[in-house]
Amino acid sequence: MKKVLYSLGIIVIVLLVLPFITGNLEKQELNTESRSQLEGSFIELSDGITHYELKGEAKAKTIILVHGNAAPYFTWDYNFDVLVNAGFRVLRYDIYGHGFSDRPNLEVYNRDLYDRQMVELLDALEINEPVCLVGTSQGGSICAYFTAQHPNRVNKIAFLSPLFDEFEGKGMAALMRRKGIGEYLMNLFGDKSLTNPSNVLFSDDKKQELEVKLKKQATYKGKKRAVLANMRGDSLSDATVYYKQTKEIGIPVLLTWGENDKSISYESMERLCELMPKIQYYQIKDASHLAHYEFSNEINPLLINFFTN
């Protein structure tokens, strides 16, 4: 019996010590001083400060780029200027909890939070005409929700491997929602998983490049807490109803999906195509989840042609 208790004691000690051994990247504060050293612009909205970049002629057709959970607004680095040079006005921003935007101290991050952020950002920047949306991963469901809530503010939508009805790893996400367990696992594995792009990219070169960028934004406090809050809200739940409303509104839709995507399944995209029979669908050879970052030479012409015509 003593041996059993001793063994259990050792296990408990190891479990308690492990998070400290693995370390913690979150050392810096996101504040006025630190943001003065960062690229882009910042604006205070009702739920916190949002990091964004807006470029292009004021009278040009406006495109809004909305990223997902895999990586912040810098995953648009190979699309942003190309779209601007094609004659569009382009806005990209970090959704709350990501990049250099605030990490609001909330129990959950839900769809209303992200919708409110986009509405307030567009209003603050005086973007009043209907816009073109590009959403990748969770950004796709954010765009679908925004369209369902504000149909008069949207002209066209491009979904790039969007979160539609399910995603790989939802079982782990359900575990992470549990109080205590989620915090423990996030402290233990969070830094590594949130800065490892292996599951969202295909080529090793791009993986190394993206990892550096991911680690930079992960050094600011609140990142792991925000990811947990996102998991505990409704943002990752089935968004079919909002895509259905988008179809009923009659807004033109483009869809791309990488054939090596490990996050969003081909079957999910099939169901989305069945829901939206008029959707323009393109499958990107060799691409993984972030095809727009890794295969921008294929994605950019599709976006330009879709939003031009």
Tens of pLDDT, residue by residue over 227-255, are 999 999 998 899 999 999 999 999 999 99
Q: What is the pLDDT of residue 178?
A: 86
Domain contains 9 = no
Output the domain CATH number for residue 61: 3.40.50.1820
Domain contains 298 = yes
Domain range for 180: 41-308
Domain contains 3 = no
Report how many domains make up the chain.
1
Domain contains 174 = yes
Q: How many CA atoms lie within 13 A of 94 on its CB side?
A: 26
Q: What is the mean pLDDT of residues 261-274?
A: 96
Distance of CA 301 to the CA centre of its chain: 22
Residue 231's identity, in one-letter code, is: M
Domain contains 16 = no
Domain contains 232 = yes
Percent of the chain with pLDDT over 70: 92
pTM for this model (two decimals) = 0.91
Query: Residue 195: CB partners within 8 Å, gap ≥ 6?
Result: 25, 211, 214, 215, 218
Contact in structure between 258 and 289 (CB atoms under 8 Å): yes
Domain contains 73 = yes
- Of 107-111, 131-135, 188-192, which gets the smallest average pLDDT? 188-192
Q: What's the helix, strand, coil split of the chain in %, to 5?
A: 45, 15, 35
**Residues pairing with 65 in the sheet:** 92, 134
Domain contains 29 = no
With 50 as the cut, is the pLDDT of residue 5 above it? Answer: no
With 50 as the cut, is the pLDDT of residue 40 above it? Answer: yes
Q: What is the pLDDT of residue 210?
A: 93
Q: What is the pLDDT of residue 1?
A: 53
- Of 4-13, 49-58, 122-131, 260-269, which gets the smallest average pLDDT? 4-13
First and final CA of the chain: distance in angstroms? 76
